[in-house]
């Protein structure tokens, strides 16, 4: 496939890959207990390299809302539902310019158990994990300037493998794509089985997207990614 032809080919509207590389028929559809709510900066809305849009494609109990759409008033209703208990996943530092800046606490099994127990203490309540989608700077601003997000306690994720999305280079190795963050959230709250299915889908997407961007010689998932996934999840 020549370079010019590669970049001119039509894309699938769902996965964003060239139509001949489309993996939509391989995409899992998972129904989990934990709800994921993705707040996406509107500038990311039509970028084929964005991964936040993939989350509701895979998780039936996920929702995507847009922030900053021109001419559209912000509606924070999905973030203040009375029957939802919200957990904001973003390592926001409290009082960063003050005398004692406070980093976000890290989600660990003990904290997750406490969050789940609190949500399950009353029938009909839903535990909703909020993920911010955009560049790091966009997400940091949203976490402070969107009133509903600013009112939430922010939590960081435990250390994990570096991103291999590859088509957008993070400013720091610890910063991962939104879909990779969702995989870690599902792994923490739901266990390795659904997280492994999400990782397999992400690996297929990343390999194909890197091939499209001339960063990989073919669209097949490399063996080292498969081995890393099996070591991590046991699948």
Residue 61 pLDDT = 93
- Number of Cβ within 10 Å of residue 97's Cβ equals 6
- Please give the helix or strand (H or E) that residue 223 lies within, else none: helix 223-233
The reply to whether 200 falls in a domain is no
Q: Considering the domain boundaries, does residue 201 fall inside one?
A: no
Instruction: Tell whether 145 is covered by a domain.
Output: yes
Q: What is the pLDDT of residues 215-225, one digit of tens each?
A: 999 999 999 99
Residue 192 pLDDT more than 60? yes
Phi, psi of 106, deg, nearest 5? -95, 135
Q: Is residue 174 in some structural domain?
A: yes
What pLDDT shows up at residue 85? 95
Mean pLDDT value across the chain: 91
Q: Quick check: is 56 in a domain?
A: yes
Contact indicator for 60, 31 with CB cutoff of 8 Å? yes
Question: What pLDDT is recorded for position 4?
Answer: 45
Instruction: Tell whether the model's pLDDT for residue 175 goes beyond 90.
Output: no
Structural domain of residue 119, as residue ranges? Answer: 31-69+84-93+102-192
Strands (E) located in 93-181: 126-133, 154-155
Give the residue from 186, 213, 225, 136 showing the smallest Cα distance to 34: 186
Higher pLDDT among residues 206 and 8, named by residue: 206
What are the tens digits of pLDDT across the range 64-110?
A: 999 999 999 999 999 999 999 999 999 998 867 777 778 899 999 99
Tokens 């939430």, residue located: 152
Would you call 208 helix, strand, or coil by DSSP?
helix
Domains held by the chain: number: 1
Average pLDDT over residues 129-135: 97
Q: What is the CATH number of the domain that holds 149?
A: 3.40.1280
Domain-located, residue 48: yes
Please name every residue paired with 18 in a beta bridge, in sequence order, or none if there are none: 11
- Looking at residue 15, its pLDDT comes to 92
CA distances from 176 to 23, 72, 83, 114 (A): 22, 29, 30, 26
Position 128 confidence tier, pLDDT thresholds 50, 70, 90: very high
Is pTM beyond 0.85? Reply is: yes
**Which residues have CB under 8 Å from 85's CB, separation 6+?**
115, 118, 119, 125, 126, 127, 128
- Decide if 138 is inside a domain: yes
Tell me, yes or no, whether 162 lies in a domain.
yes
**pLDDT of 5 over the 50 cut:** no
The pLDDT value recorded for residue 7 is 52
**What confidence category does residue 8 fall into, taking pLDDT thresholds of 50, 70 and 90?**
low
User: Which helix (H) or strand (E) segment is 209 a member of?
Assistant: helix 192-212
Exposure letters 31-55 (e unless 16+ CB within 10 A, then b): ebebbbbbbbbeebeeeeebbbbbb
């Amino acid at each position: 496939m020549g370079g010019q032809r590669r970049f001119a080919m039509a894309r699938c509207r769902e996965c964003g890959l060239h139509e001949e590389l489309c993996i939509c028929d391989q995409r899992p559809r998972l129904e989990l207990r934990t709800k994921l709510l993705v707040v996406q900066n509107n500038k990311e809305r039509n970028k084929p390299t964005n991964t936040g849009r993939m989350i509701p494609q895979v998780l039936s109990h996920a929702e995507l809302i847009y922030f900053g759409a021109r001419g559209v008033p912000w509606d924070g209703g999905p973030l203040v539902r009375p029957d939802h208990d919200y957990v904001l996943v973003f390592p926001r530092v409290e009082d960063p310019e003050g005398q004692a800046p406070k980093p976000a606490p890290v989600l660990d099994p003990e904290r997750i158990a406490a969050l789940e127990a609190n949500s399950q203490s009353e029938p009909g309540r839903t535990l909703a994990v909020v993920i911010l989608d955009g560049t790091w700077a966009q997400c940091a601003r949203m976490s402070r300037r969107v009133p509903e997000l600013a009112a939430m306690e922010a939590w960081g994720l435990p250390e994990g493998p570096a991103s291999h999305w590859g088509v957008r280079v993070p400013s720091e190795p610890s910063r991962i794509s939104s879909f990779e963050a969702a995989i870690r959230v599902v792994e923490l709250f739901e266990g390795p089985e659904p997280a492994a299915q999400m990782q397999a889908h992400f690996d297929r997407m990343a390999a194909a997207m890197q091939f499209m961007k001339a960063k990989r010689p073919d669209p097949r998932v490399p063996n080292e990614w498969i081995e890393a996934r099996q070591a991590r999840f046991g699948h």
